[in-house]
């Protein structure tokens, strides 16, 4: 389990991030707590984190539930990122918070025409491809760049019984790869070229993104700290690679760690 996270404070995370920068990978620092009763303390943590990032080689990730979906706090963090030229990846939520997440993230797309703010799409959800296409159309109409992060999904163990997710892995793979193709096909429209982070350990999806990059270089790639390290070390020789570096108080990270273990059981063989 300790392969997955950097430590209990941001200084540990920055040190781990420095090691990845030396491997030509860009760290995404993630204060990895699932929920909190003190959104102001989370805001303080992120403001402090952003202020201490040594350069814009580092990015950050934020779960809206960790700030209780407080729009004022979110805007403060976004403004702080813009001021420091730091990318912000807004992570997806579980079924209970998914509608709220989509509403807020769509407003962010409309009101922040910035290459720094990324929305996450969980492609194991049956509705995600339609939402992605709707957001592409929204951006085309408003002449806005879509910044998208594609993941397969993070809540299968808790949510597969609700009927909102693909049950078969191959259906999720089709959805994910179709999302890649939809984003690639914007080159044939009047839409602005999107910025896309493919956060995946699936080699076929990675190879698809690499192949499409030859003619339209829009895809970058990301993995979790401790996952598929050897493969991504090689990939970073030719592609832009990011790595999620989570940290936080150990007792508050337990839900995150358990979820990551459940969702990545087939990737355990890559840990070392």
More confident residue, 199 or 263: 199
Amino acid 252: pLDDT: 67
CB burial of 201-220 (b: ≥16 within 10 Å; e: otherwise) equals: bbeebbebbeebbeeeebbb
49-to-31, 135, 167, 174 alpha-carbon distances in Å: 9, 30, 38, 37
| pLDDT tens-digit readout, 60-119 | 999 999 999 999 999 999 999 999 999 999 999 999 999 999 999 988 888 877 889 999
pLDDT over 80 (residue 170)? yes
> Is a pLDDT exceeding 50 seen at residue 267?
no
Residue 201 half-sphere exposure toward CB, CA atoms < 13 A: 21
Residue with tokens 């300790």: 2
Whole-number Å distance between alpha carbons of 196 and 182: 11
By CB atoms closer than 10 A (0-12, 13-18, 19+), residue 237 is exposed
State how many domains the chain has. Answer: 1
Query: Lowest mean pLDDT: which of 189-203, 208-222, 252-266?
Result: 252-266
Work out the average pLDDT over 114-130: 95
pLDDT at 271: 34
How far is the C-alpha of 36 from the C-alpha of 242, rounded, in Å?
27
**CA-CA distance, 142 to 106, in Å (whole number)?**
12
By the 10 Å C-beta count (0-12 exposed, 13-18 middle, 19+ buried), 90 is classed as buried
Domain of 173, in residue numbers = 2-270
Half-sphere exposure at residue 72, Cβ-oriented, CA atoms within 13 angstroms: 2
How much of the chain, in percent, has pLDDT values that exceed 70? 89
Question: What pLDDT, on the 0 to 100 scale, is given for residue 114?
Answer: 80
Residues forming beta bridges with residue 119, ordered by sequence position: 90, 148
State the CATH number of the domain containing residue 36: 3.20.20.220
- As given in the structure block, the two tokens for residue 138 are 């929204």
Average model confidence (pLDDT) across the chain: 88
Which tops the pLDDT comparison, 196 or 263? 196
pLDDT given at position 272? 34
- H or E stretch at 37: none
Name the least confident of 81-90, 125-134, 252-261: 252-261
Rounded CA separation 31/157 (Å): 22
Which pLDDT tens digit goes with each residue over 26-67? Answer: 999 999 876 666 889 999 999 999 999 988 899 999 999 999
Backbone angles phi, psi at 27, to 5 degrees: -80, 140
pLDDT tens, position by position, 219-250: 999 999 988 889 999 999 999 999 999 998 86
| pLDDT score recorded for residue 38 | 82
Q: Which of 252, 267, 194 is nearest to 32 (CA)?
A: 252
Confidence of residue 7 (pLDDT cuts 50, 70, 90): confident
Q: Taking residues 147-164, what's their average pLDDT?
A: 86
Residue 194 has pLDDT above 60, yes or no: yes
Cβ neighbours around 249 below 10 Å, total: 12
- SS3 per-residue string spanning 115-150: CCEEEEEECCECCHHHHHHHHHHHHHHHCCCCEEEE
């Amino acid at each position: 389990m300790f392969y997955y996270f950097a430590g209990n404070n941001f200084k540990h995370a920055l040190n781990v991030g420095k090691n990845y920068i030396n491997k030509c990978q860009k760290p995404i620092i993630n204060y990895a707590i699932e929920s909190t009763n003190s959104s102001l303390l989370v805001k303080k943590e992120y403001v402090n984190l952003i202020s201490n990032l040594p350069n814009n080689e580092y990015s950050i990730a934020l779960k809206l539930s960790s700030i209780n979906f407080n729009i004022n706090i979110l805007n403060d963090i976004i403004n702080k990122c813009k001021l420091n030229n730091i990318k912000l990846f807004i992570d997806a939520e579980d079924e209970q918070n998914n509608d709220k997440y989509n509403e807020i993230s769509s407003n962010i797309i409309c009101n922040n025409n910035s290459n720094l703010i990324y929305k996450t799409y969980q492609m194991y959800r049956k509705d995600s491809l339609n939402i992605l296409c709707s957001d592409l159309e929204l951006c085309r109409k408003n002449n806005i760049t879509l910044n998208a992060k594609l993941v397969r999904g993070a809540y299968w163990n808790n949510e597969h019984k609700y009927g909102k997710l693909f049950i078969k892995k191959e259906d999720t793979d089709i959805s994910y790869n179709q999302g890649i193709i939809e984003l690639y096909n914007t080159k044939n429209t009047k839409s602005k070229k999107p910025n896309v982070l493919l956060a995946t350990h699936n080699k076929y999806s990675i190879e698809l993104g690499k192949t499409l990059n030859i003619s339209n270089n829009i895809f970058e790639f990301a993995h979790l700290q401790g996952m598929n390290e050897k493969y991504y070390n090689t990939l970073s020789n030719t592609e832009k690679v990011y790595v999620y570096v989570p940290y936080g108080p150990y007792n508050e990270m337990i839900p995150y760690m358990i979820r990551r273990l459940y969702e990545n059981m087939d990737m355990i063989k890559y840990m070392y």
